[in-house]
Amino acid sequence: MLVVYFSSATENTRRFVDKLQLPNVRIPLRANEPELVVDEPYVLVCPTYGGGVSISGKQGKPVPIQVVKFLNNPHNRSLIRAVVAGGNSNFGSDFGKAGDVIAAKCNVPYVYRFELMGNDEDVATLRNGLIANAATLGLQPPRVA
Ligand SMILES: Cc1cc2nc3c(=O)[nH]c(=O)nc-3n(C[C@H](O)[C@H](O)[C@H](O)COP(=O)(O)O)c2cc1C
């Protein structure tokens, strides 16, 4: 079981992923950092950016450019099994929209949406759900320490 995530300098998504207590790896924030290449099936956790049509009046780009770059690598894209998106419900119908875009483009289920750094219920629901459904999703069972 691997969680691949992106988080900007505000690190909300990093804090959420840390609380899941599952093996994880971060997509680099800066272009001068080495590219991330993964080698096992993963669930992608991605915050939503772009502001959305509900706020800006125009269609934004909800998936961060760093995540687009990561998924543009065909090897990385071949290993995604599910997506989880973060966001802020202030964005109305664009709340967590990165998950809709990634699910459609990569043909994987959008399994969970959370706000900012998530709460204890989010952490428990997602962690338990991923472990219980690992085989169905095509994720490896979590390694026992
Ligand atoms: C410029 C900007 C645009 C955003 N646009 C959206 C949006 O369209 N939909 C949404 O649900 N959240 C949106 N958010 C909220 C972020 O997804 C949220 O703050 C998230 O927790 C950031 O994660 P990070 O700190 O790991 O980068 C936006 C935040 C910023 C700063």
Question: 23-36: per-residue pLDDT in tens?
Answer: 999 999 999 999 99
Tell me yes or no: is domain 2-137 CATH 3.40.50.360.
yes
CA distance 35 to 45: 17
Q: What is the dihedral of CA 26, 51, 110, 143, to 10 degrees?
A: 20
Place of tokens 């991605």: 46
* Alpha carbon of 87 to ligand 1 centroid (Å): 5
CA distance 105 to 8: 22
pLDDT tens digit sequence for 57-103 = 666 799 999 999 999 999 999 999 999 999 999 999 999 999 999 99
Q: Write down the domain spans for the chain.
A: 2-137
> pTM surpassing 0.85?
yes
7 φψ region: left (φ > 0), alpha (ψ -120 to 50), beta (else) = beta
* Ligand 1 atom closest to Cα of residue 115: 21
